[in-house]
Amino acid sequence: MKALVTGARGQLGSALIAGAPSGWSVVALDHATLDLADAGAVRERVRAEAPDLVLNAAAYTAVDKAESEEVRANAINGEAVAAMVSALAETSGRLVHVSTDFVFDGMSPRAYRPGDPRAPISAYGRSKAAGEAALRDVDLLVRTAWVYTAGGANFVRTMLRLMRERDEVRVVADQIGSPTWAPGLARTIWALVAADASGIFHQSDAGVASWYDFAVAIQEEALAIGLITREVPVRPIATAEFPTPASRPAFSLLDCSATRALLGDGYTHWRVNLRRMLEEEKALG
């Protein structure tokens, strides 16, 4: 079986490649080998490779920059997905597309279920919603949130840097969701593929957190293993105190019960996976 993985150098793409099951050959594509802003090039590359599966882990993820670059964000997050689907329809392949909690408005009184209507409140969210809308019934959509991994560009590593450099760290406390460790997410995606799943599934680590909660845990766990050597105050602030060009959903917890029911796997809390990531980060030196 042949899989084409886009975003091969990204946090999730790298984890998908590293976790590919036996029996799968993987073609790894990154921005240097395929420009996702060029829908024609995307369509032709997928046709030429004729994979059984495309795992689309690539995306335009500069949330704030997308407010002024919505055309480019939509080209990468929306039009490229439509091009993949068009090519796969010709070659009888399937698409596994990774999306985001940003397709929701954050106003739900409960965790978002896979079938809940999309209502994005940012250019980035609209571009990701466009990609979702291009999928067929045979394709697999996996929504996730707050992704991080050792060595990547993410919130955890940013916090570690700031905790080393500053005497105080201020973090938003009124945006709620759940962090997701990329290697765990990759395992879930491959498990869904093995189960021949199609349609919409959600996956994040178990538990609930604000960005402030996440930052506090990062400091506690990093101190415990000597990854940082001093404790600094972590101050909770409101979103209004940290204005950004793009609006963020205030509540974007994803209901992952259908995913866990199908796979029959355990409920790994985000803090457990945070410890794993920090141990890996320490090993990187």
pLDDT digits (tens, 9 = 90+) for 68-100: 999 999 999 999 999 999 999 999 999 999 999
Binned at pLDDT 50, 70 and 90, residue 267 comes out as confident
Binned at pLDDT 50, 70 and 90, residue 273 comes out as very high
- Average of per-residue pLDDT values in the chain: 97
Residues in the chain: 285
Using the predicted structure, report yes or no on whether residue 266 has a pLDDT greater than 80.
no
Residue positions annotated with a catalytic role: 124
What is the value of pTM for the model shown? 0.96
pLDDT on residue 285: 81
pLDDT on residue 265: 78
Q: What is the mean pLDDT of residues 228-254?
A: 97
Cα 17 to Cα 93, 144, 244: the distances in Å are 18, 18, 34
Domain extent listing, the chain: 2-212+239-284
Cα 104 to Cα 25, 197, 248, 253, 267: the distances in Å are 35, 23, 9, 10, 24
What share of the chain in percent tops pLDDT 90?
98
Architecture of the domain made up of 2-212+239-284? 3-Layer(aba) Sandwich (3.40)
Q: Which helix (H) or strand (E) holds 22?
A: none
pLDDT digits (tens, 9 = 90+) for 178-224: 999 999 999 999 999 999 999 999 999 999 999 999 999 999 999 99
Q: What is the mean pLDDT of residues 255-270?
A: 92
